Copies of this chain bind each other. A is one copy, B any other.
């Protein structure tokens, strides 16, 4: 209870961030209040700048501070491959993997009859156009292994059937460092079916 409308409003805003509840938001604001010059002012500045500059890339849907994101703007990434992901978070995760060197298409969700999310909402017609325009040879469907993700993957595979591009998906199997004892049965089954010669 900060007894102060300004500070209380700040705590309420901070509490809306994922991973912070009302209690940890209060703790974070206290730390900020104690480091006003070193942390609070620079954070306010950085947030204001990014809030103003950030935009959705109109080619792939990635979020960056440019009209066209650095990945779409980089000619070295015109490898003829597009990786389809559900969310910008998944794009960032793929980039952390440092293996994929092509470009992306961010759906921004999955097909859902219940939530009235159709192919246009996910930019699927735009993806089909890109495959032809950019001479894409392979579309990698890196969607989540959920029912909605897999339904969407099948829909996209159908939509791309006429383009001639090869459609692939991420391999399923044992995660690096994963222990068999803790894996679910489905993953063990998938890993066994996809076993490779050593």
- A residues near B (Cβ < 8 Å) are 1-4, 6-7, 9-10, 13-14, 16-20, 24, 26-28, 30-34, 36-37, 39-54, 63-65, 69-71, 88-89, 92, 95-96
A33 touching B50 in the complex, CB below 8 Å, given contacts A3-B70, A19-B28, A64-B4: yes
Q: In the complex, what distance in Å separates the CA atom of A46 from the CA atom of B20?
A: 17
Tell me the interface secondary structure of chain A in the complex: helix
Q: In the complex, what distance in Å separates the CA atom of A37 from the CA atom of B52?
A: 9
CB distance from A48 to the nearest CB of B (A): 4
Q: Which residue of B lies closest to A94 (CB)?
A: B1
A6 touching B89 in the complex, CB below 8 Å, given contacts A20-B19, A32-B17, A63-B33: no
| Candidates B1, B16, B44; contact of A39 at CB < 8 Å | B16
Q: Which residue of B lies closest to A16 (CB)?
A: B39
A50 touching B7 in the complex, CB below 8 Å, given contacts A13-B39, A13-B43, A42-B13: yes
| Candidates B13, B36, B88; contact of A46 at CB < 8 Å | B13
CB distance from A104 to the nearest CB of B (A): 11
Q: In the complex, what distance in Å separates the CA atom of A59 from the CA atom of B88?
A: 49
Given contacts A17-B31, A19-B27, A44-B47, 8 further A-B contacts (CB under 8 A): A7-B63, A7-B65, A13-B42, A18-B28, A30-B92, A33-B63, A41-B51, A44-B44
In this complex, which of A24, A36, A69, A70 has the most chain B Cβ atoms within 10 angstroms of its Cβ? A36
| Candidates B26, B28, B32, B46; contact of A10 at CB < 8 Å | B46
The reply to whether A33 and B45 contact each other, CB–CB distance below 8 Å, is: no
The reply to whether B13 and A19 contact each other, CB–CB distance below 8 Å, is: no
Sampled A-B contacts (22; CB under 8 Å): A1-B92, A1-B95, A2-B64, A3-B69, A6-B50, A6-B53, A10-B43, A10-B46, A10-B50, A13-B46, A14-B43, A16-B39, A19-B19, A19-B28, A26-B92, A30-B89, A30-B92, A32-B50, A36-B54, A43-B47, A44-B45, A44-B48
